[in-house]
A and B are shown apart, each in its own frame.
Chain A
Amino acid sequence: MYQSIDILSVKQISIQQPLCEEWMETPLTYTGDFVRAIDPDFRQFVSPAEARRLGKLLKRALATSLSALSEGGIQNPDAIITGTGFGSIENTELFLDALVREGEQMLKPTQFMQSTHNTASSLVGINTRSHGYNSTYSQKGLSFDSALYDAWLQFRLGKIENALVGAHDEMSPVFSGFVSKAGHVKKGEICSEAAVSALLEADSGKPAMCTLKSVQILNRPTAQELSDVMAGIKADAIITGRSGNPENDSWYSFLGNEVPQCSYKPLFGVNFSSSALGFYTAACSLKAGRIPSVMNAGKGPVPCRSILLVNVVEGRHYSFTVLEAVCGK
Chain B
Amino acid sequence: MRREPVLITGCGITCAIGLDKSQVLESLLANRTGVGPIRYLKTGHTEFPVGEVSMSDEEMERAMGIAPGTPTTRTALMGMMAMHEALAQAGLSKDDLNAVGFVDGTTVGGMDKSEQYYLDFIGNDSRNAYISTHDCGSCSEMIADRFGRFKFITTISTACSSAANAIELAADMIRLGEADIVVAGGSECITKFHLNGFNSLMILDHGQCRPFDARRAGLNLGEGAAFIVLESARSAARRGVKPVAQLSGYGNACDAFHQTASSPDGEGAYRAMMKALDDAGLRPQDIDYINAHGTGTPNNDLSESQAMKRVFGECLPQVSSTKSLTGHTTSASGSIETVICILALQNGFTPANYAFEQPDNGVIVPNMNLEPEREMKHVLCNSFGFGGNDSSLVISNVSEY
B243 to chain A, nearest CB (A): 22
Query: B149 contacts which chain A residues (CB < 8 A)?
Result: 219-220
Residue of A nearest to B178 (CB): A153
Query: A132 contacts which chain B residues (CB < 8 A)?
Result: 253-254
Distance A174 CA – B119 CA, assembled complex (angstroms): 11
In the complex, whether B45 has a CB less than 8 A from a CB of chain A is yes
Interface string of B94-138 (1 = CB under 8 A from A): 000000001000010101001100110110010010011011111
Are B200 and A112 in touch, CB under 8 angstroms? yes
Are B122 and A122 in touch, CB under 8 angstroms? no
In the complex, whether B18 has a CB less than 8 A from a CB of chain A is no
Query: B140 contacts which chain A residues (CB < 8 A)?
Result: 139
Interface string of A21-47 (1 = CB under 8 A from B): 000000000000000000000000000
In the complex, whether A213 has a CB less than 8 A from a CB of chain B is no
A86-B159 contact given A123-B259, A126-B388, CB 8 Å threshold:
no
Are B194 and A131 in touch, CB under 8 angstroms? no
Distance A21 CA – B271 CA, assembled complex (angstroms): 39
In the complex, whether B389 has a CB less than 8 A from a CB of chain A is yes
Query: A206 contacts which chain B residues (CB < 8 A)?
Result: none
Which residues 193-216 of A have a CB within 8 angstroms of B?
A: none
User: In the complex, which range does the number of interface residues on chain B fall in?
Assistant: 35 or more
Are B253 and A134 in touch, CB under 8 angstroms? yes
Which residues 133-151 of A have a CB within 8 angstroms of B?
A: 133-140, 142-143, 146, 149-150
Are A95 and B388 in touch, CB under 8 angstroms? no
A102 to chain B, nearest CB (A): 11
Stretch at the interface among A8-16, A177-185, A258-266: A177-185
Query: A154 contacts which chain B residues (CB < 8 A)?
Result: 172
A116-B151 contact given A131-B256, A138-B157, CB 8 Å threshold:
no
Distance A174 CA – B131 CA, assembled complex (angstroms): 12
CB < 8 Å neighbour of A113 from B153, B271, B386, B388: B386
Q: What is the number of residues of chain A that contact chain B, defined by CB distance less than 8 Å?
A: 65
In the complex, whether B53 has a CB less than 8 A from a CB of chain A is no
Residue of B nearest to A85 (CB): B135
A170 to chain B, nearest CB (A): 14
Distance A143 CA – B154 CA, assembled complex (angstroms): 8
Are A96 and B193 in touch, CB under 8 angstroms? yes
In the complex, whether B1 has a CB less than 8 A from a CB of chain A is no
Which residues 73-97 of B have a CB within 8 angstroms of A?
A: none
Are A125 and B114 in touch, CB under 8 angstroms? no
Distance A103 CA – B199 CA, assembled complex (angstroms): 13
Distance A10 CA – B31 CA, assembled complex (angstroms): 53
Query: A99 contacts which chain B residues (CB < 8 A)?
Result: 115, 192-193, 196
Query: B107 contacts which chain A residues (CB < 8 A)?
Result: 116-118
- Taking Cβ atoms with an 8 Å cutoff, the residues of B that contact A are 43-45, 102, 107, 109, 111, 114-115, 118-119, 121-122, 125, 128, 131-132, 134-138, 140-141, 144, 149-159, 165, 169, 172-173, 175-176, 178, 192-194, 196-201, 252-260, 267-268, 271, 385-389
- Taking Cβ atoms with an 8 Å cutoff, the residues of A that contact B are 80, 84-87, 95-97, 99-100, 103-104, 107-109, 112-113, 115-119, 121-123, 125-126, 128-140, 142-143, 146, 149-150, 153-154, 156-157, 174, 177-179, 181-184, 217-221, 272, 316-317
